[in-house]
Chain A
Amino acid sequence: MELLKRQETWNITYTHALGETASWFYVQLRDHAKLYGKRDAKSGRVLVPPRAFSDQTLEPTTDWVEVGPGGHIETFTIVTAAFNGLPPPPYAFGYVQLDGADTAIGGYFRGVDLTDPKVAAKHLAIGTRVMTRFAEKRTGDVLDFWFEPQPG
């Protein structure tokens, strides 16, 4: 028998409040091109990106600590397939432990030739030193910065 289908699209708008902690972080990023973490006084861990409380202790985080701009790669991937609603490939992104931080923050990796993912993977190996680069026009968003592997 003839089997019918019906296509539809969900397009839903939200305006998320970022809260005090992320707002302060993004204002520093937007206005001064600086990255900060927040310290959990009980464990001493510096959380980057900064959270209002520690997941390990549930205590509020206390002091702000400037981190980076140097750091090293903790993990990465190189995407070579296109997905609806995600950026056109290829691109590389992953997580970097910025100097002074205990946790890793996500971001794109740029300045690496991605033509051959296997070769690119060697240039993005865990432990590779990176430098944070900041966009000239910043809006207060994760995409205001990215990481570039450092020679040597």
Chain B
Amino acid sequence: MNPRVGIIGIGQSAFQSRRDDASYPDLVREATTMALNDAKLDLDGIEAVVYSLSPDAMVGIGNAERVGVDAVGARNKRFLRINTGGATGISSVAAAYYHVAAGACDVVLTAGADKVGECGDSQTVLNKIWDPTYERQLPLGTITMLAMSAVRYMHKYGMTEEDMARVVVKNRDQAAKNPNAHLRKPTTIEEVFASRPISWPIKLFDCCPQSSGGCAMVLASERYIKERNLEAVWITGLGHCSETYYMGDRMGTNFLADHADAYALSQSFKRTFKMAGITEPRKQVHVAELYAPFSNTEFHSIEAAGLADLGASAAMLREGQFQLGGGIPVNPSGGVLCTNAIAVTAMVRVAEIALQVWGRAGGHQAKGARVGIASGNGGDHQFFGTMVVEA
């Protein structure tokens, strides 16, 4: 067996709408310091830094890794910036993993932060990801893109607005148990239905918030961990997969992937499970943190992770299968639906799963979890990253 890569330190902010007490680099440093303290390391122990930063316009600093380099203490060290949109955080953990797995480094930090709440035009920024030739003139954004996925998923599998509201209720209940979550107030199906319609069938409560905060993780080689007798959890599988750019190519005839589903995410999970030796995810996975910024997208993500057949997850969620205390808790932290600091959101998925299999998740701990999965989605539903983390 190849030497493993372990997670030895985790830091994350208590996410909020705004952090007027902290500038952008202050937030990055806050998470970095927490992760170093958790790993009981000082800065000199870090050999390389992978910097987690999605579109610059969200923090309003062009190529903000330039200011971030100080906040992660990367002077005189290896340093890379990663950006795969919403998947950035998990791509950054993967890049840190590859530094160690390749034998280039023993100890690597990945860190970042976002201040989405400071951007008054986030959907305008996200509209700019579309092609200026054929699509930019349309009012496309991430909300409308995933509302159009919801419409196709409803048509294909019969999902209802009430099914979507159940995801919100479940995740808000779970976020209430997580002190780092942004939206921590429990809600009801009635309240979701009464919330402001945004982009049919998505209402305000079906949407993630715009969060500010940071996240950081320290990864190390198995040799380093064993020599120092450190506590660790292990990344036993990881994968990526991408999807083509034009949404209109995921419908019509002769398409490879339906915009209703998350086909590329399912392929990423297949690669990840193969590496981790997982053949029956429904039996072998104990807990999942799946990137789902809108309630409807939790369903296709659960299915892509192999935790339900295509179109079957809404009924299973209704039975309580995916809540804390159910068969396989999904998003016990409250998930992206309750906290979205875009540059680190997918890193938080990995961090949360690491805490779960470590038995350190506190009030939102999934009992007895030893094997967990995490995912991240980015771009125009295009870039997917997945991981298995084990105790």
Contacts and interface: CB of A to CB of B under 8 A. Distances in A.
Given A79-B144, A118-B200, A142-B135, A97 B252 contact: yes
Contacts of B141: 83, 86
Interface in B95-153: 120-121, 123-124, 127, 132-135, 137-141, 144, 147-149, 151-152
B93 to A, nearest CB: 28
A97 to B, nearest CB: 4
Given A84-B120, A85-B121, A97-B252, A76 B151 contact: yes
Interface in B8-62: 20-21, 57, 60
B138 A107 contact: yes
B57 A10 contact: yes
Contact of A103 (B140, B152, B204, B248): B248
A106 B200 contact: no
Contacts of B259: 75
B251 A81 contact: no
A108 B138 contact: yes
Interface in A29-83: 43, 45, 47-49, 51, 55-56, 74-81, 83
A84 B124 contact: yes
A75 B200 contact: no
Interface in B270-311: none
A36 to B, nearest CB: 13
Contacts, number: 138
A80 B198 CA distance: 5
B148 A75 contact: yes
A22 interface: yes
Given A93-B139, A104-B248, A77 B200 contact: yes
B79 interface: no
B188 interface: no
A126 interface: yes
A14 B148 contact: no
Contacts of B186: none
A80 to B, nearest CB: 5
Nearest to B18: A5
Interface stretch (B239-247, B315-323, B353-361): B239-247
Contacts of B147: 77
A55 B246 CA distance: 10
B251 A86 contact: no
Given A5-B20, A80-B198, A85-B127, A74 B137 contact: no
A108 to B, nearest CB: 7
B251 A74 contact: yes
B194 interface: no
A77 B151 contact: yes
B248 A81 contact: no
Interface of B: 20-21, 57, 60, 120-121, 123-124, 127, 132-135, 137-141, 144, 147-149, 151-152, 155, 196-202, 204, 244-249, 251-256, 259
Interface of A: 3, 5, 8, 10, 14, 16, 18-19, 22, 43, 45, 47-49, 51, 55-56, 74-81, 83-87, 91, 93-95, 97, 101-108, 117-118, 120-121, 125-126, 141-143
11 contacts: A10-B57, A18-B133, A76-B151, A77-B147, A77-B200, A80-B197, A85-B127, A94-B148, A97-B252, A104-B252, A126-B152
